[in-house]
């Protein structure tokens, strides 16, 4: 069974600095999708970034980028130039393939941004 | 496009009662998934509907059920509520082509007393 592990329950970063959130997963599949979602205190889950396993190039979305290491089954999120609005719970998620639309989530990392 | 909407946003029920939550997906999205979020268990997949058919179900008791209508709107029902059913219930929708991105609604906060 696929699992997703986020080993950092909480992280803190100074405004304008860079922070990296870790995520590892376990799967026997070769083709899959990985996601990072952000859940601010308002609770609306927002998609941050997506990575297709068949792509070697790391995904980037503005200040957000990933370090995808397929062999190591690692999928970390780097936030550059952190802003106060980045404070939220961040979830790493693995998409179970095939016809289903099931996401398996990690336990989340609560990111605090210090002014 | 309007995002995923969920109603009601907050709900308080008593043990033993039943509850129905509603989810309207983004226009054009035919797949709707439901998740339960609790502090202890985190985010857990409940079920997914596509074209009015349940495609997958998570490891939840039969008290949890759902359905999807021809306009892709979905409802989930929990019967004989237990205290442990208190949670944030999230609905997510996605298109049937592309990259499996799911877009979440704001959730329904259910409190069982």
Mean pLDDT (whole number) for B22-50: 94
CB A66 within 8 A of CB A55: no
CB contact under 8 A, B104 and A102: no
* Secondary structure letter of residue A41 according to DSSP: T
Residue A42 has pLDDT above 80, yes or no: no
Between A and B, how many residue pairs show a Cβ–Cβ distance under 8 A? 57
* Confidence at residue A100, expressed as pLDDT on a 0 to 100 scale: 72
CB contact under 8 A, B55 and A99: yes
CB contact under 8 A, A104 and B55: no
Q: Which residues neighbour A2 within 8 Å (Cβ) at sequence distance 6 or greater?
A: A25, A26, A27, A29, A94, A96, A104
pLDDT digits (tens, 9 = 90+) for A47-84: 999 999 988 889 999 999 999 999 999 999 999 999 99
Mean pLDDT (whole number) for A19-24: 98
CB B71 within 8 A of CB B54: no
* Confidence at residue B20, expressed as pLDDT on a 0 to 100 scale: 98
How far, CA to CA in Å, does A43 sit from each of A115, B24, B89, B109? 22, 18, 11, 10
Closest CA to B76 of B18, B1, B16: B18
The dihedral of CA B88, B40, B31, A6: what is its sign?
positive
Provide, as residue numbers in chain B, all residues whose Cβ is less than 8 Å from the Cβ of A35.
101-102
* Confidence at residue B59, expressed as pLDDT on a 0 to 100 scale: 94
- Residue count of chain A: 115
* Confidence at residue A43, expressed as pLDDT on a 0 to 100 scale: 75
Closest CA to B88 of B73, B109, B71, B102: B109
Beta bridge partners of A112: A12
* Confidence at residue A41, expressed as pLDDT on a 0 to 100 scale: 86
Residue A29 has pLDDT above 90, yes or no: no
Residue A101 has pLDDT above 90, yes or no: no
How far, CA to CA in Å, does B108 sit from each of A49, B7, B16, B23, B75? 25, 7, 19, 10, 12
pLDDT digits (tens, 9 = 90+) for B56-98: 999 999 999 999 999 999 999 999 999 999 999 999 998 777 6
Mean pLDDT (whole number) for A88-107: 88
Beta bridge partners of B94: B31
Mean pLDDT (whole number) for B20-26: 97
- Residue count of chain B: 113
Q: Which of residues 67-96 of A touch B (CB under 8 A)?
A: 91, 95
The dihedral of CA B20, B68, B35, A42: what is its sign?
negative
């Amino acid at each position: 069974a696929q699992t997703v592990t986020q080993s950092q329950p909480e992280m803190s970063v100074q405004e304008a600095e860079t922070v990296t959130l870790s995520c590892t997963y376990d799967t026997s599949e070769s083709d899959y999708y990985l996601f990072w979602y952000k859940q601010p205190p308002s609770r609306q889950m927002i998609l941050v970034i997506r990575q297709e396993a068949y792509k070697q190039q790391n995904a980037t979305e503005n200040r957000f980028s990933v370090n995808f290491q397929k062999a190591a089954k690692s999928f970390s999120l780097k936030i550059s130039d952190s802003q106060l609005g980045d404070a939220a719970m961040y979830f790493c998620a693995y998409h179970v393939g095939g016809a289903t639309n099931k996401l398996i989530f990690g336990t989340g990392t609560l990111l605090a941004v210090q002014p | 496009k309007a995002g995923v909407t969920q109603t009601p946003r907050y709900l308080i029920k008593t043990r033993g009662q039943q509850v129905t939550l509603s989810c309207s997906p983004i226009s054009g999205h035919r797949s709707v998934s439901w998740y339960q979020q609790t502090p202890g268990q985190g985010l857990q997949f409940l079920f997914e509907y596509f074209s009015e058919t349940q495609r997958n179900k998570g490891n939840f008791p039969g008290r949890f059920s759902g359905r999807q209508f021809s306009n892709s709107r979905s409802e989930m029902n929990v019967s004989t509520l237990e205290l442990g059913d208190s949670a944030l219930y999230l609905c997510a929708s996605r298109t049937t082509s592309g990259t499996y991105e799911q877009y979440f609604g704001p959730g329904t906060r259910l409190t069982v007393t």
